[in-house]
Chain A
Amino acid sequence: MTMGGIVAGMAAIHAPMMANAPELAPAAQRERVFGAFRALGASLREARPDLLLVVANDHFNNFFLDNMPAFCLGIGEAGEGPMEWWMPLQRRRIPIHQPFARALLRAAVAEGFDLAFSEKLRLDHSVMLPLQLMGAPDVPIVPLLQNCFIDPMPTPRRCLALGRLIRQVAEAGPWRVAVLGTGGMSHWVGVPRMCEVNEAFDRRVLDLISRGDAEGLAGLTDPEIEAAGNGAHEIRNWITAVGATPGHKGRTLAYEVVPPWVVGAGVVALEV
């Protein structure tokens, strides 16, 4: 018998404007979103995890077009970030939970997920910003970076399956594992539509999660996601996190349309 398993599940945006210019959002919206992040942090502390697996994505801060992994697992001793020096966040070195990272890597390869891995990942805002806004407890992390910006990207179905595998590994081991998917929701980055939000898409995703409709999430197509912006592809990180939870189900703690933050701002607590 083991005592391990998924003890907390979360999904939330990682929009840089929340750090660079939080004051651009109306105070009431800002408080609702930041309050939801703090609520995630509080429930995470209560869950007493041994580690936090953060499903996030690179923004050309590690990988370039010479070598672009679909999935890359951080397995080194520690990660440091955020590596973007222009971002007003506290720089930290966070230990990586190597026993779980190695167990996941081995299990993934055995099950047909040939994950890339790195002993020296740079952590960018996609990992560091949500942790800071949550006031996350000081536990080791395992970063999993998914390709969410360079076509072709892993399918939502593949992400869901990887999430399920993460749960299997967690349940087979002795560790209490929390999982956080970061990024999305609808947003456009570096293109003329930047600052638009596709609320209908965001509400649809939140509704699928609230009903535990994993099949609906897995069936999202690239054109459907693209209609919510080139940044909406990061919803894959949420889907992997949802896949790691037993009921594939969660509750929306906050959702705000925040054009000055360039994003549909969702924060979700997943059921475990």
Chain B
Amino acid sequence: MSLYEVQRLFYELGVNRELHDRFQADRAAVFGGYEVTAEERAAILDLDVPRLSQMGVHPILLLQYARSQKLPTDDFLRMLRGEGRGASKERG
């Protein structure tokens, strides 16, 4: 677990437009700067909202990341409530 690093990535995507653009262009490429586990990396890349929430990502950072990935709020909430595609992808 490296929750701090997951959250640092989300924070920096919010405040650093250049990083955000780079991430959008090639999402895998920015991970070198963050010490996240393979599981965390997968949850980030899959936009696995329930898993990220379960890991303890702060709700504001989670919402901001979802917004930055153009996930509509309704879908975000459905996933968070376990009603959407996120729940079906939940990992053990």
| Residues of A near any B CB (own CB < 8 A) | 59-62, 64-66, 83-86, 122, 149-150, 189-192, 194-195, 230
Q: Smallest CB-CB separation from A17: which chain B residue?
A: B73
Cross-chain contact B4 with A189 (CB below 8 angstroms): no
Asked if A60 meets B11 with Cβ closer than 8 Å, knowing A85-B17, A189-B63, A190-B63, the reply is yes
Asked if A149 meets B77 with Cβ closer than 8 Å, knowing A60-B14, A61-B14, A65-B4, the reply is no
- B32 at interface by CB-CB < 8 Å: no
Q: How many residues of B contact A (CB 8 A)?
A: 22
Residue of A86, A189, A192 touching B60 (CB-CB under 8 A):
A189
Asked if A191 meets B80 with Cβ closer than 8 Å, knowing A61-B14, A83-B15, the reply is yes
Q: Smallest CB-CB separation from A59: which chain B residue?
A: B60
Q: Which residues of B contact A59 (CB under 8 A)?
A: 60, 64
Q: Which residues of A contact B11 (CB under 8 A)?
A: 60, 64
Cross-chain contact A65 with B81 (CB below 8 angstroms): no
* Cα distance A27–B14 in the bound complex, in angstroms: 32
Cross-chain contact A64 with B64 (CB below 8 angstroms): no
Distance (whole angstroms) from the CB of B7 to the closest CB of chain A: 6
Residue of A64, A83, A86, A192 touching B67 (CB-CB under 8 A):
A86
- B47 at interface by CB-CB < 8 Å: no
Distance (whole angstroms) from the CB of A82 to the closest CB of chain B: 12
Asked if A122 meets B15 with Cβ closer than 8 Å, knowing A64-B8, A192-B77, A192-B81, the reply is yes
| Prevailing SS type, chain A contact patch | loop
14 residue pairs of the A-B complex, CB under 8 angstroms, read A59-B60, A59-B64, A60-B10, A60-B14, A60-B64, A66-B8, A83-B15, A122-B15, A149-B58, A189-B60, A190-B61, A190-B63, A190-B80, A194-B80
Q: Which residues of B contact A122 (CB under 8 A)?
A: 15
Distance (whole angstroms) from the CB of A192 to the closest CB of chain B: 5
Q: Which residues of B contact A194 (CB under 8 A)?
A: 73, 77, 80
Cross-chain contact A230 with B17 (CB below 8 angstroms): no
Q: Which residues of B contact A66 (CB under 8 A)?
A: 8
* Cα distance A270–B61 in the bound complex, in angstroms: 33
A interface footprint on B58-70 (CB within 8 Å = 1, 0 otherwise): 1111111001100
Q: Which residues of A contact B64 (CB under 8 A)?
A: 59-60
Distance (whole angstroms) from the CB of B21 to the closest CB of chain A: 10
Within 8 A of A (CB), among B18-68: 53, 58-64, 67-68
Residue of A85, A86, A195 touching B77 (CB-CB under 8 A):
A195
Distance (whole angstroms) from the CB of A244 to the closest CB of chain B: 27
Instruction: Give the most central of A59, A60, A86: most B CB within 10 Å.
Output: A60
**10 nearest A-B pairs in the assembled complex, by CB-CB distance:** A190-B59, A190-B63, A64-B11, A192-B81, A191-B59, A190-B62, A60-B11, A192-B80, A59-B60, A190-B60
